[in-house]
Amino acid sequence: MAIAGCVSCSQGASTANAAGGEAQGETITAVGCPTSPKPGCTTIAAEGKAYDITSAGVDLSRGVGVSLTGRAAGAVTACGSKLTDVKVDYLTLQCGPVKPAG
């Protein structure tokens, strides 16, 4: 992932750069086990950063890892750096059971 500034972002630019360093619209790829660190959040870690993939509708009950790509939204939510246009592929990688936070 390249680290770049976001010239055309409004409110999300400084927050996104501080949290993850990714520019708005940058493609993010992650492979691993999604988690639910707090109620209403689904996240995945990539390169030491937490990405908010809640809107992707990942089925945590499958108990398997995912491979995904998405675009940095240029905003940070309570769940992490938000990704949009997320495409998810379920893998055969077994993950531990995910218990919803709360």
Q: What is the CATH number of the domain that holds 32?
A: 2.40.50
Residue 43: give the domain boundaries. 12-94
pTM (2 d.p.): 0.73
Per-residue pLDDT reduced to its tens digit, 56-102 = 999 999 999 999 999 999 999 999 999 999 999 999 989 976 665 65
Task: Flag whether 64 is in a domain.
Answer: yes
Cβ neighbors of 23 (< 8 A, separation 6 or more) are: 2, 3, 4, 5, 6, 16, 17, 72, 74
Is residue 1 in a domain? no
Whether residue 40 is contained in a domain is answered as yes
pLDDT of residue 99: 62
Higher pLDDT residue, 19 or 62?
Answer: 62
Residue 100 lies in a domain: no
Task: Report the domain count for the chain.
Answer: 1
**% residues pLDDT > 70 (the chain):** 74
Determine, yes or no, domain membership for 99: no
Whether 46 is in a domain gets the answer yes
- CA distances from residue 42 to 3, 68, 89, 96 in whole angstroms, order as listed: 24, 13, 15, 15
